[in-house]
Structures are given as C-alpha cells and as structure tokens.
Structure 1
Amino acid sequence: MYIHRRIATELLRLIDQFPVVGIIGPRQVGKTTLARHLMENMNKECIYLDLELPEDQSKLYEPQLYLEQHSEKCIILDEIQQIPELFPVIRGLVDKHRVAGRYIVLGSASPALLRQSSETLAGRIVYKELAPFNLVEIAENYDMTQHWFRGGFPEAFLAMNEEFLRTWTRNFIQTYLERDLPVFGLTVNPILMRKMWTMMAHFHGGIWNASSFSKSLGITVPTVNRYIEFLEAAFIVNRLQPFHLNLKKRLVKSPKIYLRDTGILHYLAGITSFENLQGNVLLGNSWEGYAIEQIKQVLPGEIEAYYYRTHNGTESDLVLARGNIALACIEIKYTASPKPSKGFQIAIEDLKTPANFIITPKSETYPVASNIVVCNLADFLTSHLDAIMRM
C-alpha cells in the first residue's frame, strides 16, 4: 500500500515552476517510490533512469545526445551521485531550452554532491528533503508506538516481523558505513565510525562534548567535529542549536545531539522491543528525540527549532522561533500526568513565548496552567502547530 508523502503536492507545484527539482535524503527513504508516484500525476511524459543499473548508465554514454532527444519530456535521474558529471550537461541543456519540469534528480545524502550541484545548477534547481515517514503520514492507519520504536524508514517501519526489522537495520548501517561513506566523500575506518554511532546512541539527547568523543575514539577534536558535521549534512544526526537572546544569564551554548531515526537509535543501543525500551534509561531521551524530529520535519522554512537552557537549570526542550522572536516553548515528557517543571516555567518567563506546550504520547488536550497546554504529539502536529505558524 502506498503511503502518501506530505511533500508530494509541493513537489508537483515546484516541478511546474523550476527546470530541475532535486529530491534528497538518505538511502531507502522512499525517493524512488515517491518519484514513480509523481510520474503518475504529471501532465507530461516521463522517462525514469536508475543510474545504478548498467543498462540505464549505458543510455547516457553520450549524455547530451540522449537528453536532447527527450527535451520535451521530464527525465528522472535516480541516484545521480553515480554520475556527477551530468550536472554541467544538464545546466547547458536547461540554458538552451529553459522550461519547467525538465529534470527530477534523486540523490542519496551526499554533502559533496549537494555542493557540486548547487554551484553548477544555481538558479535552475530547487531541493526538497524527503525524510522517513512522519507521524502525520501514518497516524490514521498505524500505531504511533510502532513508528517510534521502528523509526520511519519504510522497510523498517512496515517490516513483517522483528527479525526482518533487525536484519534490515543491521544491513542499512553496514552498507552506509562500508559503502556509502566513501562514495559520499568521507574516508574513515568503518569500525571507528560504527563505534562513534554507538556512542551517539547512548549520548542521544545530550549536550555535545567533542572532547569526550575525541578521547574515547582516539582522534582529534577537529576530526570529531568534522565527522559530526558530515553526519548532520547526510541527514543521520540532528544538532539542535541553543536559542540565544541578550539575556543577563549564563546560557548553555553547545548543541544537543540526536540520531534522527529512532529505529536506528534503538538498534545501536541494543533495545530489541518496545517493551524493552520501557525499562531502558534511554526511554525519556528517545521520546524527546522522536518528538523533536517529527516536529522539525513539518516546520516551514521561516521557523527554526532550538532548545533553551541556562546553567542554573532553566530549560525548554524545544523552542520554535521566527528570526530572533521565540514563538513557543515546548517541554517533552513521557508521562500520563504531566506537570510543568519550575525550570520550564522560568524559560517561558525568560523568552516571553505566547504559546507553550507539554507534549506527551497520549494525553488529551487541556490547560495545565494559564499559559501552558498539555497535548499529545499527534494533536500538536495536526492542530496546534498551525496556530503557531500563523503567529
């Protein structure tokens, strides 16, 4: 069964406006499935080429000749990082015949690829990230706990049993470390990177401390920071930055680190079932990271996500802001009877946010204080977030 992706409508609009549309994201996130869905809903004939297949690669032996033959069609180039030299060819053909919807390029997350294509196709291409399934995409037909525990990669989320889930996740991590990282331009020992990923799983939701990782891994602090920046650009890690105002308070100024997909998090942490997660010390941080990722995925471009913390314990797990104006403070709790902490209430006073929430897995919506509302994550995503975006 095809699960509708929330960015599909926007992608169709962009295809009608730009000569080249790029869909980026990690491997096996569903880019090919989405592209085939778009083909069925476009008003022009499409040609799909998988650049990992020798048969399709051979069609582009003389790329300019082949692409010019199909100048009135939309050419979909999947795994374009396999032939990066196509970018200047596409630029030349677009400049000769600039019409919307000429090319859709699909690329697994590669920072070098994105830089190269952005420079070559500047002004001609627009990018959209396809993230793993978001809760709003699956909530109608699936249970949230399945999504939280398994993560949002389609094959993992829809796995027929736990054995297949573990096999898929193990192979995804192994392929990424041994095959994808070198292709993406990061030369690193796979064993070292696997150790770093495992450390990040146990550090999930913590304040980033490069020195600690440097000592444990036996590499320099600049190298650790380079690896984490690469993993963030490759959509594996989320660095949640602190929110700063000119307050006379000692603020924590280092980012918090989360693995973006909780299925990968749980596998690396050795958590083999949802029941096992309930008794694990990572439970609260896993829920926090899951909620933050679901919210960040659906935020419009003008609203950024941060956290807020002072050295005396004042904290908001998530701050939504437009520019330097904080719109909402959010506390994320895994509990059935949430109460606002003193630190959260002080954070609200500091930032003077007009909307404030405590998000739990299954609570009904109700005010817990004059300026704080309790709600579950699904209700926040589908109802309350729209009100914040209109502020």
Structure 2
Amino acid sequence: MLERWLTERVVSLMSVFPVVMLQGARQVGKTTLAQQLITRGYLKHYYSFDDPATLEAATSDPAGFIETLPPGSVLDEVQRVPEVLLPLKARIDREREVGQFVLTGSANPIARFRMGEPLVGRMGAVTLYPLSQGEQVGKRERWLEQALQGQILHVEAEQDNLWERVVKGGYPNAVLAPAPPARTEWLNGYLDTLLTREVRELAEVQQVSELVLLTRLLAANSAQLLNQASLSRECGIPQTTLRRYVSLLEAMFLLTRVPAWYTNISQRLLKTPKILLNDTGITCALLDVDENRLLQDPLLRGRMLENFVGMELLKQIEFTGQRVRLYHFRTASGHEVDFVLEKASGEVVGVEVKASSRLDADDFRGLRFLQSVVRERWQVGVVFYTGTKTLPFGERLWAQPVSALWETV
C-alpha cells in the first residue's frame, strides 16, 4: 500500500479541530487514507454513504444518526447527505473534544454546496490530490520547503521515463495498473462514470454531452488562461452555462484555477486565472494521447508538462501544510512566469517550465523581471526542463531537471 504524505497533516488537524474534512476527487484514495487512520488507532469506526443501508439511515433521520455515532468515526462521501451537517454542529457544540470525526467528500462541500458553513471554526479541511511522484516511489519530497528557504540541491537525474509519468498521472488505480492498456481502460471508465452518471448527483445537467465536450476542450487548453468567452464560442455553450459547468468541474476536483499574482506596481497586469486539470493521466485520456503523441506535438507536450509541474507543486503545498499560495504571473507587456509561490510571510519563489533539454538566458527573462519586482522577498527562481543537470543562471536563478521535484528529499 502506497504511503500518503497527507496522513501526517490530517492527524495534526485532528489534534486541533473536532472535525476534519478530507476532500478530493473520486478514487484518489480518501477512503484508503481514512481506513489507515483506523488501522493506526487514530480513529475507530467507519461509515460510508455509498452503502445503501447507511445512506438510508442517515437520510431518514439525520439527527438520530449523528447522535448515535461513537466518537472517532469516519463519515465517507458526506456530500451525499448534507442534512447531517447541522446535527453534527449541534453535537460538536455540546462536546467540544478534538478529533471526534473525519468526513470525506468527493465534491467540494464549501465551494459547491455551502455544506461547510455550519462547521465554520469547528472543522479543518485538507485536499487529497492524486498520488505525487514522490508517493509513487516512496520518497518524501522536500523541494518546496527548501526552495522557500532559498535553497536548491544539485540534482542530476536521467529523465527517460518522464513522459510515461505524465501520461500515467497519479490516480492509484492507474498507477498500479499492470500495463498501459489496462491503465487506459481504467481512466476511460472513470471519466465515463464521473461525467455521465455521478455528475447528476451533484447538479442538474441538461446536456451531459456538452459537459463532456467542455471538459475535453479544457484538457486541450490545460495550463492556459481561462478564456470563457472563447471557450463558449468554440463549443457553442452559452457563457452562463459554461461558467456553471466550470464551477461544477472545480467542485468535483477535476479542475483547479490558478489565480494571477499581482502587487502594487506600475505595470498593468493581466488578472485572468490559469486552469490546471488535476491529473495529467486524466488529461491525456480525455485527449486520447499517449507518450508517442506527446513527443510528436511540441505545443501539447509543453502544456502537459506545465500542468504536471503545477499539480506536483500543489500537492507539496497541501501535504506540507505551509501557508503558501500558487499563482501565475503575466503582464500586458509580455513578461510572464508560469508559477509563483508566495508564503503568507511574503517570501516568493518563481517557477518556469520548459519541455526542452536546452536552455538559454532568455528562458529566465520572466523570472528576472519578477525578481526585480519582489526584491528582498525573492528566494529563488527555477526553470524546470527536460535536461539532466542542475545549472546556475545568475543570482538565485537555477535550471533543474523536472525530476528534482521528487528527487529533492
């Protein structure tokens, strides 16, 4: 069984809050993580609302169901029974002990259903993403922690299997599939179930085919600015409907918006968010893309690698628990940085992604500009590329192999 680095953070939150919400897409491993907490003695009981009898008991008498729950219980897929949240709040208000319940949800209860409102101040929330590259090989990544301290390790690594990693993604069933055909079959089946059946549990979708088409278009435009007007014209979906679909995909943890980073500087900044699909394996399945296709299509290859790196950064932000936000940076004058990591205390790290084994000084143009903007808050700027060596390109500017993200341990 693969170790999930988020486990430690969940345990930490259980020592602070009466309730911890573990959220994430279907099949990313939430149930497995929750059951591991039971095995290790942090929790004692497990209830799944995917079980018809448990679902019926909770929906027929939400208050009675909550009152009879023993402390130390997991409630799995709680978005299916939002009615239990108010009774849970009432119980927590009477019994303020920490670590009483862990809830899991495959649809964002706060953003989508406003389910989390009754538990404000009583609940800690974390997001479980698909497996990180470090989790897949059993190495606890430290790249983010070190970069935020201005430190870069001299990693040298072969990248022969980089594109295999991109196409495989991080869903446990896809990672553990015995061969690529089995992996592709699982990914396609997962998407079919999610986009044509389970979506109906979350929202009223009149034309499922429209949602599928939009999801494929978003996959083709991953790691790009979210231009809803352009998408609306391309797929023929009214903008009001399209906005609702995008929010729905976010709520299902299939899509992440990366906001624009800006500060009070004279340059006019473009503040449109960038979109990332939450797994490159899913993205490649949506586009029917394999390793050979990626190697033949430079534009697609660049977008997939940027999406891949962005998601690895988000995973490290989540399991380290540091107060860090992920942004992108772009000015009207043409300066851009793929990703900006900013701590609440102000430190900034810049990241560029190049799907090439060759670099030159111009590849650092955006990072140098951002460095001049943030000045003393600058920690380090890195261009991740498909080469094998860590190389200096100026003061606190480095090129690193993409694999440094999980080889820095």
Fold shared by both chains (TM-score > 0.5) = yes
Amino acid at match of 1:343: R
> For 1:252 and 1:53, how far apart are their aligned partners in 2?
47
> For 1:354 and 1:106, how far apart are their aligned partners in 2?
36
User: Structure 2-normalised TM-score?
Assistant: 0.84
Q: 1:285 to 1:365 in 2, by over 3 A?
A: same
Q: Once structures 1 and 2 are overlaid, which stretch shifts more, 105-114 or 183-192?
A: 105-114
1:348 aligns with 2:366: no
1:363 aligns with 2:384: no
Amino acid at match of 1:122: V
User: Structure 1-normalised TM-score?
Assistant: 0.88
For 1:269, which of 280, 287, 290 is the aligned residue? Answer: 287
- Contact 2:388 / 2:401 at 8 angstroms: preserved in 1? yes
Deviation of residue 129 (structure 1)?
0.8
Alignment of 1:1-391 (within 5 A): 2-43=1-42, 46-58=44-56, 60=58, 62=61, 64-65=63-64, 67-71=66-70, 73-111=71-109, 115-140=113-138, 144-271=162-289, 273-280=290-297, 281-299=299-317, 300-323=321-344, 325=346, 327-341=348-362, 343-344=365-366, 345-352=368-375, 353-361=378-386, 363-380=388-405, 383=408
Amino acid at match of 2:306: E
Percent identical among aligned pairs is: 25
- Contact 2:75 / 2:103 at 8 angstroms: preserved in 1? yes
- Contact 1:112 / 1:184 at 8 angstroms: preserved in 2? no
- Contact 2:109 / 2:116 at 8 angstroms: preserved in 1? no
Q: 1:116 to 1:246 in 2, by over 3 A?
A: closer
Deviation of residue 173 (structure 1)?
1.4
Q: 1:127 to 1:348 in 2, by over 3 A?
A: same
- Contact 1:305 / 1:320 at 8 angstroms: preserved in 2? yes
- Alpha-carbon deviations, 1:228-267, whole Å to 9, x = none? 2332233211222221122222322212222121011111
Amino acid at match of 1:3: L
Amino acid at match of 2:380: A
- Contact 1:20 / 1:125 at 8 angstroms: preserved in 2? yes
Deviation of residue 132 (structure 1)?
0.5
SS at match of 1:318: strand
Deviation of residue 94 (structure 1)?
2.2
- Contact 2:260 / 2:270 at 8 angstroms: preserved in 1? yes
SS at match of 1:32: helix
- Contact 1:81 / 1:113 at 8 angstroms: preserved in 2? no
- Contact 1:147 / 1:157 at 8 angstroms: preserved in 2? no
> For 2:235 and 2:274, how far apart are their aligned partners in 1?
19
> For 2:42 and 2:395, how far apart are their aligned partners in 1?
51
Amino acid at match of 2:47: L
What root-mean-square deviation, in Å, do the aligned CA atoms of Structure 1 and Structure 2 show? 2.6
SS at match of 2:257: strand
Of the two structures, which has the highest relative contact order with CA contacts closer than 8 Å and spacing of 6 or more? 2
Q: Once structures 1 and 2 are overlaid, which stretch shifts more, 334-343 or 281-290?
A: 334-343
Deviation of residue 21 (structure 1)?
1.4
Deviation of residue 331 (structure 1)?
1.4
Q: Once structures 1 and 2 are overlaid, which stretch shifts more, 83-92 or 245-254?
A: 245-254
Q: Once structures 1 and 2 are overlaid, which stretch shifts more, 107-116 or 197-206?
A: 107-116
SS at match of 1:117: coil
* Unmatched segments (≥5 aa) in structure 1: 385-391
- Contact 2:352 / 2:383 at 8 angstroms: preserved in 1? yes
